[in-house]
């Protein structure tokens, strides 16, 4: 299949902890199938910048230091999914974050997305990238960032030629605050608590497929392409875990 060729792959949801490689895989999927990658963070920023009615509401809420409520986030997502580029399908990154949002998304897609063009399509295929906890810690805590231009290394998997020195410009490499082990552990704990109900929601519906994120990036990509292109055949099972 030629990259950038739009085909009706339908909705795709990616789940996985920080460091699992969701961003890399989402970009590859979007390029291969010619579908948009949709991030709730991007949607929120776009609405605020454009001064849309939803954006103005969100801006006022954030100015008070409060979280943007589910109904407002869902309305923004609905508006984005109604745009023409989503017709062949789309990748949702960072949504749904709760089981309630997952239920809302199913209802929205059943009522609005699956018109005659999508009569033969299934509800979203949900791909979870599973990565060993200790490997995640290595990926995240091993990260070092160049002070001058932001080049990124990993002391375990992609070290610089000289310790703590950028190969490109010779500047110092530092550990960002977000990459400290105590911060990472809290992030992983929060992710697990927040998203486990989402995974359980889709598992109960037989739509959660796990791929092995410990493999090299290209192999993880290959697993994902297989799942997407055999969507109807893999619901309720995982060819990569035997589940």
Report how far residue 96's alpha carbon sits from residue 91's, in angstroms, rounded to the nearest whole number. Answer: 11
Report how far residue 118's alpha carbon sits from residue 47's, in angstroms, rounded to the nearest whole number. Answer: 28
For 124, which DSSP code? P
Report how far residue 76's alpha carbon sits from residue 61's, in angstroms, rounded to the nearest whole number. Answer: 15
Q: Strands 208-212, 125-130: parallel, antiparallel or unpaired by DSSP?
A: parallel
Report how far residue 157's alpha carbon sits from residue 137's, in angstroms, rounded to the nearest whole number. Answer: 12
Catalytic residue among 32, 121, 128, 143: 143
Catalytic residue among 59, 97, 135, 185: 97
CB atoms within 10 A of CB 234: 19
Report how far residue 175's alpha carbon sits from residue 141's, in angstroms, rounded to the nearest whole number. Answer: 8
Nearest CA-CA partner of 151 in 173, 181, 178, 175: 173
Active site (annotated) includes residue 161:
no
Nearest CA-CA partner of 13 in 180, 173, 203, 156: 203
Active site (annotated) includes residue 139:
no
Report how far residue 79's alpha carbon sits from residue 87's, in angstroms, rounded to the nearest whole number. Answer: 13
Catalytic residue among 27, 176, 180, 189: 176
Report how far residue 117's alpha carbon sits from residue 236's, in angstroms, rounded to the nearest whole number. Answer: 25
Active site (annotated) includes residue 50:
no
**To which H or E segment does residue 233 belong?**
helix 231-234
Active site (annotated) includes residue 64:
no
Active site (annotated) includes residue 187:
yes
Catalytic residue among 59, 135, 187, 205: 187
Active site residues: 22, 97, 143, 176, 187
């Amino acid at each position: 299949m030629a990259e950038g060729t739009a085909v009706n792959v339908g909705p795709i949801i990616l789940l996985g902890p920080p460091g699992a490689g969701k961003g890399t895989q989402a970009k590859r999927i979007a390029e291969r199938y010619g579908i948009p990658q949709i991030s709730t963070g991007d949607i929120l920023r776009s609405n605020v910048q454009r001064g849309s009615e939803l954006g103005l509401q969100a801006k006022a809420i954030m100015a008070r230091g409060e979280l943007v409520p589910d109904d407002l986030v869902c309305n923004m997502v609905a508006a984005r999914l109604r745009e023409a580029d989503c017709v062949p399908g789309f990748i949702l990154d960072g949504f749904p974050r709760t089981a309630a949002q997952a239920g809302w998304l199913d209802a929205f897609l059943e009522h609005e997305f699956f018109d005659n063009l999508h009569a033969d399509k299934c509800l979203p295929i949900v791909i979870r990238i599973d990565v060993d906890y200790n490997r995640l810690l290595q990926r995240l805590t091993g990260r070092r960032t160049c002070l001058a231009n932001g080049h990124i290394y990993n002391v375990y998997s992609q070290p610089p030629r000289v310790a703590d020195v950028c190969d490109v410009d010779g500047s110092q490499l530092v550990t960002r605050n977000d990459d400290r082990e105590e911060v990472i552990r809290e992030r992983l704990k929060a992710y697990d608590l927040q998203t486990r109900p989402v995974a359980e929601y889709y598992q109960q519906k037989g739509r959660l497929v796990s791929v092995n994120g410990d493999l090299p990036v290209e192999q993880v990509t290959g697993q994902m392409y297989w799942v997407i292109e055999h969507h109807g055949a893999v619901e309720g099972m995982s060819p990569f875990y035997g589940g």
